[in-house]
Amino acid sequence: MNDIMLYSLITLVALGCIAAILLYFIAQKFKVYEDPRIDDVVDLLPGANCGGCGFAGCRALAEAIVKDENLEGKSCPPGGNATMEQIAAVLGFAATITEPQIAVVRCNGSFENAPKKIDYDAVGSCYFAHTLFAGEGGCPNGCLGCGDCIKSCQFDAIFMSKETGLPVVKDNCVACSACVKACPRGIIELRNRGKKERRIFVSCVNTEKGAPAKKNCAVACIGCGKCVKSCSFEAITLNKNLAYIDYAKCKLCRKCATECPTGAIRELNFPPRKEPKETVAETAEA
């Protein structure tokens, strides 16, 4: 009995030693040197691998930061400035501050505003619906409502409203731009969050002329240009029958919104106006 135990003990110990030696040599042979700072940076990053920074994932961003030896042009949307400051502190680089952003949905073609004219009955993919037709409401640029953006979101920061049939961005959006890329019609845009989360933007991307645009949707931008004239800061431009508010120049004065004849300009998180206006868009969006 003892013999058996002894033999097995010796065999197993010998086996273990041989394996250890083998492993050591193999590890030596295939050793890859890596800057230890990369791991430090990875530890500071959120680890969501969302791709919002423009790199393939958190590790890729860390590698790029360490390789370039600076933080210029690099940002981590989910982590925000706090994360970048931490990284800067650890590596001893100068931190670059970026304005926090959020995704906004530039379409207000709800069931009410753009009534359903066609029934869509195919696979639930905006990309596919886009190849088939203009959309249930008839607008060739409007939201198709199949939720490609919602599927693309890793942070559960966007959901489909049952009342309007439009996606709604929640406050926990980290501006990783996954939804921006997912939308086949370029409806979603990243904009600065603004003071006190106040934002104002043209909630339409329709480039048709006024008449056909208005025919499909009550709140379409008809390219009349009134807002352009009303703006004192030259923040609004008109291109292809569509107005666009530059968030960098906009001072959030809300003058354009009162001018817009169709109510295409949408304001978020502003206090109610003193005198009631019909064109004020609902601010239910969180």
Partner 1 sequence: MNLLTISGSPHVHGKESVQKIMWGVVVAMIPLAVASVLFFGWNAVRVMIISVAACAILEWLIQKFIMKTPATVGDGSAVITGLLLAFNVPSNLDWWIIVIGAIIAIGVAKMSFGGLGKNPFNPALVGRVFLLISFPQQMTTWPKAKELIEQVPQAITAATSGATQAIEVVADATTGATPMGIIKGGLATGQDVSDVVAQLPDYVGSLIGQHGGSLGEISVIAILLGGIFMLFRKIITWHIPVSFLGSAFIFAGIMHLINPGLYIPPMYHLMFGGIMLGAVFMATDMATSPMSSWGQVVFGIGCGLLTMIIRLWGAYPEGVSFAILIMNAFVPLINRAFKPKRFGEKVK
Partner 2 sequence: MALRTFKIGGVHPPECKIAEHAAIEELGIPKRAIFPLGQSLGAPSVPIVKKGDMVKVGQLIAKGEAFISSNIHSSVSGKVFAVDDYLDASGYRKPSIIIDVEGDEWEEGIDRSPNLKRDFSLSKEEILNKIKEAGIVGMGGAAFPTHVKLTVPAGKKAECLIINAVECEPYLTADHRLMLEKGEEMLVGVSIIMRALEVSRAIIGIENNKKDAIQHLSESAKKFQGIKIMALKVKYPQGAEKQLVKAAINREIPSGKLPLEVGAVVTNAGTSLAVYEAVQKNKPLIDRIVTLTGKSVAKPSNFLVRNGSPVFMLIEAAGGLPEDTGKIISGGPMMGKAVTSTDIPVTKGTSGILLMTQKESKRVPVQNCIRCAKCTTACPMGLEPYYLAILSTNENYESLEKEGVMDCIECGSCHFTCPSGRPLLDTIRVGKNQVGKIIRNRNVR
Chain residues in the site for partner 1 (CB under 8 A) = 116-123, 128, 132-133
The three state secondary structure string of 191-256 is EECCHHHCEEEECCCCCCCHHHHHHHCCCCCCCCCHHHHHCCCCCEEEECCEEEECCCCCCCCCHH
By CB under 8 A, residue 118 contacts partner 2: yes
Only segment of 56-64, 114-122, 224-232, 255-263 that touches partner 2 (CB under 8 A): 114-122
The position carrying tokens 């019609």 is 185
Degrees, nearest 5: CA angle 235-237-238: 160
Q: Residue 280: CB partners within 8 Å, gap ≥ 6?
A: 257, 263, 267, 272, 273
The position carrying tokens 């206006």 is 277
Of the candidates 283, 151, 277, 260, the residue with the CA atom closest to the CA atom of residue 214: 260
Window 206-225: residues binding partner 2 (CB under 8 A): 208, 212
Instruction: Name the pairing type of β-strands 265-268 and 167-169.
Output: unpaired
Q: Please, what is the minimum distance in Å from the beta carbon of residue 134 to partner 2? A: 5
By CB under 8 A, residue 133 contacts partner 2: yes
Q: Which does 116 bind (CB under 5 to 8 A by kind): partner 2, partner 1, none?
A: partner 1
Q: Please, what is the minimum distance in Å from the beta carbon of residue 123 to partner 2? A: 4
3-class state of residue 165 by DSSP: coil
Q: Which does 7 bind (CB under 5 to 8 A by kind): partner 1, partner 2, none?
A: none
By CB under 8 A, residue 10 contacts partner 2: no
Q: Which does 64 bind (CB under 5 to 8 A by kind): partner 2, partner 1, none?
A: none
Q: Please, what is the minimum distance in Å from the beta carbon of residue 117 to partner 2? A: 8
Contact 223, 264 (CB under 8 A): no
Q: Please, what is the minimum distance in Å from the beta carbon of residue 121 to partner 2? A: 5
By CB under 8 A, residue 132 contacts partner 2: yes
Alpha-carbon 8 to chain mean position: 61
Q: Please, what is the minimum distance in Å from the beta carbon of residue 130 to partner 1? A: 12
Q: Which does 125 bind (CB under 5 to 8 A by kind): partner 2, partner 1, none?
A: partner 2
Phi, psi of 190 (to 5 degrees): -90, 125
Q: Which of 81, 86, 96, 125 binds partner 2 (CB under 8 A)?
A: 125
Q: Please, what is the minimum distance in Å from the beta carbon of residue 216 to partner 1? A: 15
Residues that bind partner 2 (CB under 8 A): 117-118, 121-123, 125, 127-128, 131-134, 138, 140, 208, 212
